[in-house]
Amino acid sequence: MYKDIATPVRTKEILKKYGFSFKKSLGQNFLIDTNILRNIVDHALLTDQSGAIEVGPGIGALTEQLAKRSKKVVAFEIDQRLLPILDETLAPYDNTKIIHEDILKADVKKVMEQEFQGMDDVMLVANLPYYVTTPIIMKILEAHLPIRGIVVMLQKEVAERISAKPSTKEYGSLSIAIQYYTVPEVVMIVPKTVFMPQPNVDSAVIRLTKREKPLVAVKDEDFFFQVTRASFAQRRKTILNNLVGQLEKGKEKKDLILESLQASGIEPTRRGESLSIEEFAALSDALYVYFKK
């Protein structure tokens, strides 16, 4: 039997053997608790016919657990220093492949076509570096990849923002963007003590189950997201003032913005955080006529 990678002793052994030092700039925090890793994989609901995409495998702690439960794991690793370590730690698992590339620059769709042929169940499962959590999730969702969903470890505060409901302080354009594509649920809270080195914040695992179609139908997705971002630009401002200040030629078109708000049944004095995603959809479609056509 191979010893699990994710124990404090084994992790230290591996790091010492390769003289590896953590790079803060890459947000490297390795998990050293096998039970938590198994729990993360449990929440991904994988079978022996599933494919798994991982981002930032580190020394392979989560990769190993994914390899035991899925048909194939493809992991993107940006840090060249980890490649020889992964060669060793994942040697027992012939269903893993490491791609030395930044996932934000990679053609993930092409990789999926090449690596997951004949598999119709693929999940993204990762312990994400905190500094690029949102760009990675948004890239995957906006690419409309054929995946079932995403299970990721991220900052607890970001997980709360992603899953937030209207009229809460956590609710914002990020909540809307991710809920537009997926149904989010926070499935685990993870203390900082199970990482090496310890981060300054607690973490959470969130599961994002992809919707068959987006939550709302809109005339123009990009413009819908533009309107939601504009509406939260300054949280204390009313929706009218934010839109006037943020949309192109907003000041010149103030009357048209007012008209659009009224046509959507939205009081101009409300704040962005009080609007539901459905209200934002109606508003962006009403504004679209004046700002995009």
Cα end-to-end span (Å), the chain: 64
Q: What are the contacts of 247-256 at 24+ separation with CB within 8 A?
A: 247/287, 247/291, 248/291, 253/290, 253/291, 256/287, 256/290
pLDDT band at 4 (very low <50, low <70, confident <90, very high): confident
Q: What is the pLDDT of residue 130?
A: 82
> Are the C-beta atoms of 35 and 65 separated by less than 8 Å?
no
**Residue ranges of the chain assigned to CATH 1.10.8.100:** 221-291
**Residue ranges of the chain assigned to CATH 3.40.50.150:** 8-210
Q: What is the pLDDT of residue 2?
A: 63
Q: What is the pLDDT of residue 293?
A: 65
58 is in an annotated binding site: no
107 is in an annotated binding site: no
How buried is residue 107: exposed, middle or buried, by Cβ count under 10 Å (0-12/13-18/19+)?
exposed
Q: What is the pLDDT of residue 234?
A: 94
The residue-averaged pLDDT of 97-117 equals 97
56 is in an annotated binding site: yes
258 is in an annotated binding site: no
Give pLDDT tens digits for 235-267: 999 999 999 999 999 999 999 999 999 999 999
Q: What is the pLDDT of residue 199?
A: 85
CATH superfamily of 221-291: rRNA adenine dimethylase, C-terminal domain (1.10.8.100)
Q: How many residues does the chain have?
A: 293
d(CA 235, CA 152): 28
Tell me: pLDDT of 1 over 60: no
Q: What is the DSSP letter of 200?
A: S
Strand, helix or coil at 198?
coil
200 is in an annotated binding site: no
pLDDT band at 285 (very low <50, low <70, confident <90, very high): very high
Q: What is the pLDDT of residue 201?
A: 87
Helix %, strand %, coil % of the chain (to 5)? 45, 15, 40
Strands 72-76 and 96-99, sheet pairing: parallel
Tell me: pLDDT of 28 over 80: no
CATH superfamily of 8-210: Vaccinia Virus protein VP39 (3.40.50.150)
Beta bridge partners of 150: 124, 208
Give pLDDT tens digits for 38-95: 999 999 999 999 999 999 999 999 999 999 999 999 999 999 999 999 999 999 999 9
60 is in an annotated binding site: no
Tell me: pLDDT of 196 over 90: no
Q: What is the pLDDT of residue 22?
A: 78
Give pLDDT tens digits for 133-191: 999 999 999 999 999 999 999 999 999 999 999 999 999 999 999 999 999 999 999 99
